[in-house]
Structures are given as C-alpha cells and as structure tokens.
Amino acid sequence: MLDATRSGSLPNAAGVGYKPQHFAAIMEDPGPVRWLEIHAENYMGDGGRPIAQLRHLAERFPISVHGVGLSIGGEAPLDTEHLSRLRHLVDWLNPASFSEHLAWSTHDTAFLNDLLPLPYTAATLDRVAAHIDQVQEALGRRMLLENPSTYLAFAESEMSETDFLREIARRTGCGLLLDINNVFVSATNQQTDPRAYIADFPLDLVGEMHLGGHDEQMDEHGAPLLIDSHGTEVVDPVWTLYAETIARMGPRPSLIEWDNDVPDWPVLAAEAARADRILAPVSQ
Amino acid sequence: MSVVQTDFRAAILDPARPAPAGLVDPEGRPAGKRFDVYRNNVVVSLTNALAEAFPVIRKLLGENNFSILAHQFVRAHPPDSPRIALYGGALPAFLEGFEPVRHLGYLPDVARLEHALRESYHAADVPAVDPAALAALPPDRLLVARLTLAPTLRWVASDWPIAAIWHFNATGGPKPAMQAETALVTRPDFDPVVTALSPAGGAFVSNLAAGERIGAAIDAATARAADFDLAATLAALVSGGAITAIEED
C-alpha cells in the first residue's frame, strides 16, 4: 500500500473544474472556491499558456488531477506512453490528489473520448485491480477511482457496482471518488434506488465528491434516460442526495463539474457556494 | 455471453451495426437507444474537438458540411492518443481524398496550418536569443553560423496563398491574391502568429531547420528566387522569438 498523499490533501470544501476562460476571475476573487481540478490530458503539452496558467494556479490553490484517458477498464494493457506523460505531470505539479474513472476509452489504439461501461465480473475485477496497481506504482501515490454514469447494463454482470468498487479498493488500497450526479443518473437509468446505492457504498473510502448537471431524455420504451452532460446546474434531487450523504459521512472535498456550455464565473461560483453552504455546518 | 471491447468499439464507430448482444436495459431487453448514447457521445465530442481545432476549415465549409466531414473523419480516424488537443493531424490527408471538397484545393494546406498552430500553442517554452547578438555578428561569421530554432516554430509551404487565406478568414485580413506562399508560425509569447513568406523565404527557413549554415540557406533561397528578401525573413523569425541559439564552429 502506498502513501495517501505527498503534498497535503484537498480541503473539505468546495472546488470547481478549472476552465481557462475563468483564469482572471479566479485569480482576482475565487469566492467560495478553495481548490481546483484539472483534466490531466489538457496539461500534457510541453509548454505554452496552459502550463503557465497551471503553474500560477498551483501557487494559490490545491490542485486535483483528474484523468479522463487512462482507460483503466480497458481489455488491453495500459498505454505506457500515456502513463509516462501522466507521471511527468504528477511529478512536476505534485498535486493534492489524482483520480480516474471506472471505465474504458481506448481499444486497438483508438481513443474514443468517452467513459465506456464495464461488466462487473471476476475477470473485470482482476484486470481493473492490476491496472490500478500499475498506475499507483508508476505515480508513487494512492489514487481515487470514480463511480461511472451508466446508460445500460451487461447481462453478464455478477455483482453490484458498490461491491465491485469495495473489492477493487480492498485489493489495491485505492480510495474512491463518489460522483453523486453519476449515482443519480445511473440509478434512474437502471431503475434502482440511489439512496440504497449510497447506503451500500463504502463511504469511509471516499476522498472526493463530484456534482454536475445532466440532461433528461427517454428511451424507445418511454423509460427515463438521463445523460451525464456536465452542461447545466446541478438539479435539486442531486443536491438533496449530496446533503444526505455529507450528513452521514461528514464533509469531503466537493467539486462542481461544468464542462460543456461553460457559464460565466459567477454562475459556476454560485454552484460552488451552494456546496459550501452544505459543507460548512458539518465542517465546524 | 460476454461483450468484448472489440465489438463494442466497432459498433460505436459504425452506426449500421446493431449494439452488441448482452447489453441490456433494466428489463433485460436489448440496449437499443441506450447504446446510442455512447455512440453519440463519441462522435459529438470528437466533432466538437475538431471544430475547436480547425475553426477556419469550419468557417470555409459551413456548419453542416463541417459536421458531415467530421463524422466521416472521426469514424475513419479516431484519435490514437487521449491528448485530444492535438487530434486531427490526419485531417489534411483525409481532405485530399474527400471527394466533395476536391474543388477546394487549398483546404488541406489550411488544415495543415491550423494543426501547426495547435502544435505551436502547446510547444515548449525556450527563451529567444537577444536580437542584438544576431545583429552584432560580422557578415563573415554570420554566413557560416547555424541557428537553433524554437520548438514553437512551424511552417506550411503551399502552392496557394495559404497565409493570406488564413488571415482573411481568421483575422479579417485583405482578400487573398493568387500566389504561392509559405505560412510561417511563430509564438512570441503564448499566442501563435501567422506570417506570409515567399516560397524562397520558406526554403530559407526549412534549410535553417535542417541544420544548414546561414550562407547555405541563403543560397537555397536565392536559387528559388533571385529577389529573396533575407532581411524580412530574418525579421519574421526574430520578432516571433523563433531563434533560440546561434551556433558557431
């Protein structure tokens, strides 16, 4: 098992997914935002403005590096070239946290730029655990693994997602990133109870939470189909589920994700303020 | 039965294929539209990435035609790396073989230039030499010196007025006049700059980049055009911060 952190940890407060158009506003007045998360793949260039901005931000804020391209659930071996680039970023930035997804995105050298689903089987467990061991070894730190948004299920699945995540964490020592919107989206799409999911989730392993917006559609049978779009405000039922979860396990670093149709800074800051109002009373 | 990622991937990229068997909705029925969510996420997110990376191609083709092009390109050439900022290196060659735009002969070079701008934007920061150091070098030493060029430097040699076409569409520059140009990309600070060079100027830069002495690069340029403008070409390199070292034997 590896060290939990090398450079402190994220505060039990509100953070936002960093977007370059907000750089000046954040540096001037971050409001309730106490930490920032970046997508690792956007900072793998050799230089230029992205790296320069990140250096400035890292002087003022704890940074969480969130990978979206490792394909930890991939059937093929991990892309070692990509893992080296990730290691380079983590080495110079020394972020407060690193997280990735329970998903796959690369197969036969094609990177599909989406977080694709996995069957919850013994074979997937072995593969994902081996890949997480490899990542934690390469980075020299513990990582957090995020629960996915899912739109369909695999007939071959043998265990629940919560049991799967619990076993992955037990085998690898990794922590978990609990995305409350993903819980709500998946539970709606799978017609299960999001509260039952939270009740069954190993909350003691949660090192970070995500909140984001989703779109509402219907499948061809008229059943609700929620899409994890990160393009709107967090909806009230997700806020309620978040508040209930925080009341139960205590405060955790909590991130607002808004990746599409990114709003002006005040709108994003207001979402962070809403998380802050839920976190503050339990952080006393 | 077990769903393998080869089949999943093939169905994502080919809308004519059904969703792999074994993917189900909550009632155990075939996933149907639920699988289409993934198909849509992949094609739309990669199309958006291309639209961001190739704004002039998008403007030249219009929104609809650009989408048709992007959808076909994404399915034929999905990214080979998770660094989406650099996706689309294969687009110029794809455009060359894309029948609906064959009459727009300059499009592939415009795409090359836009990709060069992307690469330059993310390239390493290396400080430029003091321009005075270059000016202070006596001609006999200058001619046998070699120049180390910045990692941010790119150029696209074209039979078309490629820099003018780019400026006309991206920065509101004057209407292009038909002539061959080399578009020089430099990055003085964080934002890449496009400068038009003559083909001879382009030959000078490519010879310098290949490690030739300044004198030999001048000869190569003058062979292309007797009126090669050395001062203007050097000025474009110097003002763009594109010279990072002067090497003398």
Q: What is the pLDDT of residues B76-104, one digit of tens each?
A: 999 999 999 999 999 999 999 999 999 99
| pLDDT value of residue A283 | 84
pLDDT exceeds 50 at position A6:
no
pLDDT in tens, A36-49: 999 999 999 999 99
Structural contact between residues A237 and A184, judged by C-beta atoms closer than 8 angstroms: yes
Q: How sure is the predictor about B1, in pLDDT bands with cuts at 50, 70 and 90?
A: low
| pLDDT value of residue A2 | 43
Structure-block tokens of residue B84? 């989406």
Structural contact between residues B130 and B243, judged by C-beta atoms closer than 8 angstroms: no
Q: How many Cβ pairs closer than 8 A exist between chain A and B? A: 144
Structural domain includes residue A4: no
pLDDT exceeds 90 at position B153:
yes
Q: What is the mean pLDDT of residues A160-167?
A: 98
| pLDDT value of residue A109 | 87
Strand order in the sheet with B154-158: B154-158, B181-186, B193-197
Closest CA to A68 of A114, A22, A28: A114
Q: Which residue do the tokens 């030493």 mark? A: B141
Give the pairing of strands A63-66 and A35-39: parallel
Cα–Cα distance for residue pair A81/B22, rounded to 1 Å = 33
Q: How sure is the predictor about A284, in pLDDT bands with cuts at 50, 70 and 90?
A: low
Closest CA to A208 of A183, A238, A178: A178
Structural domain includes residue A233: yes
| pLDDT value of residue A7 | 52
CATH assignment at residue A66: 3.20.20.150
| pLDDT value of residue A80 | 96
Q: What's the pTM? A: 0.95
pLDDT in tens, B108-152: 999 999 999 999 999 999 999 999 999 999 999 999 999 999 999
Tell which of B4, B7, B13, B23 to mutate to test the A interface (max A CBs under 10 Å). B23
User: Residues 198 to 227 of B: which have CB under 8 A from any A CB?
Assistant: none
Q: What is the mean pLDDT of residues B55-73?
A: 97
Structural domain includes residue A3: no
Residues paired with A9 in a beta bridge: none
Q: Which residue do the tokens 């180390």 mark? A: B148
Q: Which residue do the tokens 């034997």 mark? A: B249
Structural contact between residues A215 and A202, judged by C-beta atoms closer than 8 angstroms: no
Q: CB A68: neighbour CB atoms within 10 A?
A: 19
* Cβ–Cβ below 8 Å for B9 and A110: yes
Q: Which residue do the tokens 């958006």 mark? A: B48
Nearest CA in chain B to A216: B37
* Cβ–Cβ below 8 Å for A221 and B122: no
Give the pairing of strands B146-149 and B243-247: antiparallel
Give the pairing of strands A175-179 and A224-227: unpaired
A15 to chain B, closest Cα gap in Å: 24
Closest CA to A96 of A207, A2, A5, A205: A5
| pLDDT value of residue A121 | 98
Structure-block tokens of residue B221? 């340029």
* Cβ–Cβ below 8 Å for B80 and A220: no
Is B64 an interface residue toward A (CB < 8 Å)? Answer: no
Q: Which residue do the tokens 């964490």 mark? A: A169
Instruction: Note the ipTM here.
Output: 0.94
Structural contact between residues B241 and B188, judged by C-beta atoms closer than 8 angstroms: yes
Ranges A8-12, A85-89, B196-200, B217-221: which has the least confidence:
A8-12
Structural contact between residues A114 and A26, judged by C-beta atoms closer than 8 angstroms: no
Structural domain includes residue A69: yes
Structural domain includes residue A50: yes
Q: What is the 3-state secondary structure (H, E, C) of B106-157?
A: CHHHHHHHHHHHHHHHHCCCCCCCCHHHHHCCCHHHHHHCEEEECCCCEEEE
Tell which of A72, A82, A106, A114 to mutate to test the B interface (max B CBs under 10 Å). A114
Structural domain includes residue A7: no
pLDDT exceeds 50 at position A3:
no
* Cβ–Cβ below 8 Å for A152 and B121: no
Q: CB B96: neighbour CB atoms within 10 A?
A: 14
Structural domain includes residue A243: yes
Structural domain includes residue A8: no
Q: CB A6: neighbour CB atoms within 10 A?
A: 14
Q: Which of B9, B23, B26 sits opposite A154 (nearest CB)?
A: B23
Is A146 an interface residue toward B (CB < 8 Å)? Answer: no
| Mean per-residue pLDDT over chain B, rounded | 96
Cα–Cα distance for residue pair A159/A5, rounded to 1 Å = 31
Is A220 an interface residue toward B (CB < 8 Å)? Answer: yes
Closest CA to B100 of B65, B64, B152: B65
Name, in order, each residue with C-beta under 8 angstroms of B58's C-beta and a sequence gap of 6 or more: B51, B66
CB-facing half-sphere around the CA of A112: CA atoms within 13 A = 26
| pLDDT value of residue B2 | 84
CA B56 from chain centre, in angstroms, equals 11
Which range marks the domain in which residue A19 is found? Answer: 14-278
